[in-house]
């Protein structure tokens, strides 16, 4: 299994990184290959950080030869993708949205169809827009044809939309617990669906 983590926060070592890295470390302990990508850094490698529909259908010319192209290749090869974002005005960070807008070529190629997707988010308050942020990322994943999971598994409970942390997440014991449950679930679903990704 190969699981890719996308840190969509402008703060490279902040709250989103902490909870995402925690999940990836747990997944790695279970024997899977993992990699964490700093989305803002990768986005800055492109000539234009925002999609301006320079080709339609997208031919990837605007990011050819950049770090962004390399990351898109990794996304296409991944069994699962965990996207992490802080809450910005009740939704996803601008950096993660701009990054995802640039994945039009992946959609044309159906490269993420049947890739397992999960979401981690954090806010400054207990009810600080975490679930609306998760839903926004779920929408982006669904448009790519991905398989979505929440933060539940048979050994725990059915779960909810995803991991919702409250800053500081290092002290949010509930979010840390849910992160470990969702890490287990993404591995389980990736293994169960591996066969349907071989035809991509």
Instruction: Give the containing element (helix H, strand E) for 12.
Output: none
Give yes or no for residue 199 having a pLDDT over 70. no
Beta bridge partners of 6: 37, 83
Q: pLDDT digits over 122-177, tens only? A: 999 999 999 999 999 999 999 999 999 999 999 999 999 999 999 999 999 999 99
Report the share of the chain in percent with pLDDT over 90: 90
Contacts for 187-195 with beta carbons within 8 Å, 24 or more apart? 187/1, 187/3, 187/27, 187/30, 187/32, 187/80, 188/153, 189/80, 189/116, 189/147, 189/149, 190/1, 190/3, 190/32, 190/79, 190/80, 190/116, 191/1, 193/79, 193/114, 193/116, 193/147, 194/1, 194/79
Pairing between β-strand 80-86 and β-strand 163-166 as defined by DSSP bridges = unpaired
Q: pLDDT digits over 66-81, tens only? A: 999 999 999 999 999 9
Domain boundaries, the chain: 2-197
Question: Collapsing DSSP states into helix, strand and coil, what is residue 45?
Answer: coil
Sign of CA dihedral 181, 187, 68, 197: negative
- What CATH topology corresponds to 2-197? Rossmann fold (3.40.50)
DSSP assignment of 77-112 equals: H-SEEEEEEE-BTTB--HHHHHHHHTTHHHHHTTTT
Mean pLDDT of the chain: 95
pTM of the predicted protein model = 0.96
Give me 120's structure tokens: 């981690």
Q: What is the pLDDT of residue 200?
A: 62
Q: How far apart are CA 159 and CA 7, in angstroms?
A: 22
């Amino acid at each position: 299994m190969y699981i890719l983590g996308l840190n969509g926060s402008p703060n490279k070592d902040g709250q989103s990184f902490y909870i995402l890295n925690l999940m990836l470390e747990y997944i790695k302990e279970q024997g899977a290959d993992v990699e964490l990508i700093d989305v803002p850094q990768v986005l800055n490698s492109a000539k234009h950080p925002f999609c301006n529909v320079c080709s339609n259908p997208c031919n990837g010319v605007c990011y050819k030869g950049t770090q962004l192209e390399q990351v898109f290749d990794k996304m296409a090869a991944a069994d699962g993708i965990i996207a992490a974002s802080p809450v910005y005005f009740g939704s996803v960070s601008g950096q993660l949205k701009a990054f995802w807008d640039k994945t039009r070529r992946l959609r044309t190629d159906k490269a993420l169809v049947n890739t397992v997707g999960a979401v981690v988010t954090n806010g400054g308050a207990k009810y600080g827009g975490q679930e609306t942020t998760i839903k926004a990322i779920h929408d982006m994943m669904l448009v790519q044809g991905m398989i979505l999971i929440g933060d539940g598994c048979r050994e725990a409970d059915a779960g909810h939309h995803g991991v919702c942390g409250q800053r500081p997440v290092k002290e949010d014991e509930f979010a840390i617990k849910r992160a470990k449950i969702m890490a287990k679930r993404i591995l389980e679903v990736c293994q169960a669906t591996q066969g349907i990704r071989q035809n991509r």
